Amino acid sequence: MPELTYREAVRDALSTAMRQDDDVFIMGEDIAEMGGSMGVTAGMLDEFGRERIRNTPISEMALAGAAIGAAMQGMRPVAEIMYEDFLTLAAEQVVNQAAKLRYMSGGQLSVPVVFRTQGGAGWSPGAQHAQQLEAWFVHIPGLKVVFASTPEDVRGLLWSSIYDDNPVVFFEHRTLYPIKGDVPEEIEPIPLGRARVHRQGEDVTVIATGRLVHESLKAAEEAERDGISVEVVDPRTLQPLDEETLVASVKKTNRAVVAHEAVTRMGFGAEIAAVLQYQAFDWLDAPIERVGAKFAPLAFAPVMEAFVVPHADDVLAAIKRTVGKG
């Protein structure tokens, strides 16, 4: 099987779609010669030209809004928002417009746009360049939200997002761009709304997203040495959520830990915990644990950043608490 980095996998999905389909194009800041702030679109200007790899001024509202406008006319634009934090600037168009156009028009319109963005802590990006805001967008009816954590997943899911007729907020994680992984020879579209079980286990289910999938797998290895068998599941699509897989896993193990890099309080994990509590109440042998960032903006100093953000040992501690060894 070929191996791609997460970054290359994103590029591959974009390029393959653009080669096959004139309706797909990308707009974003610094995506042309520079190849994007994270290097995702590197080389694509040469292949596809300026018409379809469009640098925009620093105007997130127009960037998002024009993408929406083009999508309303039947194209499939991919708007790259440089940092997840800047989604806040584009939010009016994403939330008030894209999410609701189909609904308000009584079904006349569809908005097949993808808002691609990246975020996350690591290497001291500072408070305004490191947020994980998926909880904002899963809360908006009309949006789909995806957060893949492996090269194979990000490629297959981006493809499906481009070809979904709904607006999709597609989160990538900055520290995952360099990780390598096996991918199928040809792009295999991964349907939105399907979780992936990375690791089977019997004693506790860890539901994790983004960077925390990898941290959870590390924690699971460690837990294994302590005789705790851990199942790790990545929902991959946050909206719609694969409740069936998550609930079935927790019914099997009777314990759950939800882990994400975003701030724990009022985070996406709270929704998962509520869903599990409701659908698997009589199967729970321990309260559901949540692992996430502490309730503070992200500090600049590396020691403070490390303190706020969750790591493998936080997941491990949560695992142990669920089995009563915490």
Best CA proximity match to 176, nearest among 154, 207, 199:
154
**Closer of 64 and 121 to another protein (Cβ):** 64
Identify the burial level of 11 via C-beta atoms within 10 angstroms of its C-beta, where 0-12 means exposed, 13-18 middle and 19 or more buried: buried
Q: Of 104 and 296, which CB lies nearer to another protein in the complex structure?
A: 104
What is the token pair recorded at 130? 């490191």
Q: Which uninterrupted H or E stretch holds 78?
A: strand 76-81
Q: How many CB atoms lie within 10 A of CB 297?
A: 13
In whole angstroms, the minimum distance from the beta carbon of 308 to another protein comes to 26
Per the annotation, the verdict on 60 as an active-site residue is: yes
Nearer to another protein, 186 or 282 (CB): 282
Query: C-beta of 315: minimal distance to another protein in Å?
Result: 18
Query: 322 in helix, strand or coil?
Result: helix
Say if residues 102 and 143 touch (Cβ distance below 8 Å). no
List the alpha helices (DSSP H) in the chain: 6-20, 44-48, 60-72, 87-91, 101-104, 134-138, 151-162, 211-225, 243-253, 268-279, 302-308, 312-322
* Of residues 41 and 239, the one with the C-beta less far from another protein: 239
Looking at the DSSP assignment, which residues form a beta bridge with residue 244?
Answer: none
Using alpha carbons, list the distances in angstroms from residue 22 to 18, 19, 51, 111, 112. Answer: 6, 7, 11, 17, 14
Catalytic residue among 8, 29, 60, 152: 60
CB of 319 to another protein, least distance (A): 14
Could you confirm whether 129 is annotated as catalytic?
yes
- Give the Cβ contact number of residue 47 at 10 Å: 11
Name the minimum Å distance from CB 140 to another protein. 10
Classified as helix, coil or strand, 37 is coil
Nearer Cβ to another protein, position 94 or 148? 94
Q: How far is the CB of 9 from another protein (least distance, A)?
A: 26
Choice among 8, 129, 134, 261 that is catalytic: 129
**Which residues are at the interface with another protein (CB under 8 A)?**
22, 25, 51-52, 54, 56-57, 59-75, 77, 92-93, 96-97, 101-110, 112, 141-142, 144, 164-166, 254, 281-286, 321, 324, 326
Which lies closer to another protein via its Cβ, residue 70 or residue 81?
A: 70
- CB of 3 vs another protein, minimal distance in Å: 35
Dihedral sign computed on CA atoms, order 246, 250, 253, 259: positive
Which residues, 6 or more positions from 293, have their beta carbon under 8 angstroms from its beta carbon? 121, 132, 261, 262, 263, 264, 308, 309, 310
Residues marked active site are found at: 60, 129
